[in-house]
Amino acid sequence: MRHFLLRRHGKESGIGKESDIGKGSDIRGDSEPRSSGKKNAGIRFWAVLAAVFLIFPYITSLIWSYRIRESAGLERGEPLIGGIFGAGWWDADGRQEENSGEAGSRTGERRICLGGGRKGYMNIEEYLPGLVAGQIPAEYEMEAIKAQAIIARTYIYRRMGDDREIAESRLFPADIAETETEGGLDREDFSEMYEKICRAVKETEGLVLMYEGKPVDPLFHRISAGATRTGDEAHPYLQPADSSYDMEAEGFLSVRDWEPAEFAERIGALGGTGRISPDRVADSIQIVEKDDAGYVEQIQIGTHIYTGEQVRTALELPSAAFSVREHEGKIQTVCRGIGHGLGLSQYGADHMASEGKTAREILEYYYKNVEIILPES
């Protein structure tokens, strides 16, 4: 969530603006005595004060998103490093500590210890609206946003394990940046959209995705390549799901032509092979293996074999569902989807919601053999 949200809200609510109270107060005329100006000033003062208190929880819960993005120096669309499952919840540039402990019984509210110069705590339900707002477009269908709210809550519970509180720095390490989504509230109907997200959080209060008594690793992405991918042994609940409606999404297909020299330089920077000659690089490319969803598992370039995610990182591609060919003296990459392709497709979820599917039905479609329960009841 970018910092301009704070400026936008301040502008629309009058916060930080020069007040016009009192301007022209000597030329109001007999129909509006000066005492009414003082009365209006008082009313406006209390209105502004009330607005500050109303938006404080929102600002507090949203600020993490900008801090994480800024500290990592990344923008939306930065690719994964270090493999899919090692990267964690988002398709992110960095690492995720693993904490998959089972949620304990209720002994008090779970809460987040705020960081970044802020002191105090927020309980999870207060924290979630700002988190969800930074992950999914607010204009998406309500049931899709509710599904995302459950995903976000599940992630926090998984990170916390049996603990009742967690430091924000542990929840979102500084080297993890949001990359999969286009969330945000940079819009004129700011208040309406934020209220919609708050309602989605409230209507799913406490619900968590569980597998065999533990919170799942709720991987999600923006747009699949037409179907979601199979998880590894640690993610048995991630099974292939048809998501062919994703092919209708804006940005589903991306094509880029590379100068052979730049292509060779980027791949060479991955290491593991000698210098790749730009004149020969096009003839040395061969995709060795793809998974059932069309994502590259292994690709040979020169004499070395790379993973699809390594090449995706080097070329800054939207996903690892790509093909490579020589085209008019250049090297052309054609890429499908946005993100790692594991777990829930946000575009697919929105499509399902538009057809009347509930958040529960959406989640049970993308995550197999899971329970959606109140783990602390």
Q: Which residue has the higher pLDDT, 7 or 356?
A: 356
What residues does 373 pair with on adjacent strands? 208
Q: Does any domain span residue 21?
A: no
Mean pLDDT computed over 96-110: 43
Domain limits for position 55: 1-13+37-220+349-377
Q: Does any domain span residue 241?
A: no
Question: 90 is written with which tokens?
Answer: 């988002």
Q: What is the pLDDT of residue 237?
A: 98
Q: What is the pLDDT of residue 42?
A: 57
In terms of domains, do 276 and 375 share one?
no
Q: What is the pLDDT of residue 189?
A: 74
According to the per-residue pLDDT averaged within each range, which of 39-53, 185-199, 271-285, 316-330 is highest?
A: 316-330
Name the pTM for this structure.
Answer: 0.72
Alpha helices in 316-355 (DSSP H): 346-354
**What is the widest separation between alpha-carbon atoms in the chain?**
90
In terms of domains, do 155 and 275 share one?
no
pLDDT for residue 93 is more than 70: no
In terms of domains, do 128 and 191 share one?
yes
pLDDT for residue 36 is more than 60: no
Q: What is the pLDDT of residue 95?
A: 30
Pairing of strands 253-258, 220-221: unpaired
Query: Per-residue pLDDT tens for 22-34?
Result: 333 222 233 334 3
pLDDT for residue 358 is more than 80: yes
User: Quick one: pLDDT band at residue 130, thresholds 50, 70, 90?
Assistant: very high
In terms of domains, do 328 and 357 share one?
no
Percent of the chain surpassing pLDDT 90? 59
According to the per-residue pLDDT averaged within each range, which of 39-43, 72-76, 277-281 is highest?
A: 277-281
pLDDT for residue 274 is more than 90: no
Euclidean distance between CA atoms 215 and 100, whole angstroms: 7
pLDDT for residue 92 is more than 50: no
Q: What is the pLDDT of residue 129?
A: 95
Mean pLDDT computed over 227-236: 97
Q: Which residue has the higher pLDDT, 145 or 63?
A: 145
DSSP string, 148-181: HHHHHHHHHHHHHTT-SEEEHHHHS-TT----S-
46 CB neighbour count, 10 Å cutoff: 10
pLDDT for residue 183 is more than 70: no
In terms of domains, do 216 and 357 share one?
yes
Mean pLDDT computed over 163-167: 93
Mean pLDDT computed over 116-126: 86
Q: Which residue has the higher pLDDT, 307 or 102?
A: 307
In terms of domains, do 68 and 178 share one?
yes
Mean pLDDT computed over 177-189: 52
Q: How many domains does the chain have?
A: 2
Q: Which residue has the higher pLDDT, 32 or 271?
A: 271
Query: Per-residue pLDDT tens for 208-222?
Result: 999 999 999 999 999
Q: Does any domain span residue 211?
A: yes
In terms of domains, do 137 and 110 share one?
yes
Alpha helices in the chain (DSSP H): 4-13, 34-72, 124-133, 142-160, 168-171, 190-203, 260-268, 308-315, 346-354, 359-366
- Amino acid in the structure at residue 215: P
Mean pLDDT computed over 328-339: 97
In terms of domains, do 198 and 292 share one?
no
Give the rounded distance of the alpha carbon of 78 from its chain centre: 12
Q: Is 139 in a helix, a strand, or coil? A: coil
Sort residue 271 into left (φ over 0), alpha (ψ -120 to 50) or beta: left
Output the average pLDDT for the chain.
76
Q: Does any domain span residue 110?
A: yes
In terms of domains, do 318 and 172 share one?
no
Q: Which residues contact 120 (CB under 8 A, 6 or more apart)?
A: 113, 114
Query: Per-residue pLDDT tens for 142-158?
Result: 999 999 999 999 999 99
In terms of domains, do 194 and 302 share one?
no
pLDDT for residue 314 is more than 60: yes
pLDDT for residue 184 is more than 90: no
Mean pLDDT computed over 63-82: 34
In terms of domains, do 309 and 364 share one?
no
User: Quick one: pLDDT band at residue 41, thresholds 50, 70, 90?
Assistant: low
In terms of domains, do 69 and 216 share one?
yes
Q: Which residues contact 239 (CB under 8 A, 6 or more apart)?
A: 230, 231, 368
Q: Which residue has the higher pLDDT, 232 or 191?
A: 232
Query: Per-residue pLDDT tens for 240-253?
Result: 999 999 999 999 99
Q: Does any domain span residue 29?
A: no
Q: Does any domain span residue 66?
A: yes
Q: Does any domain span residue 244?
A: no
Q: Which residue has the higher pLDDT, 291 or 12?
A: 291
Q: Does any domain span residue 203?
A: yes
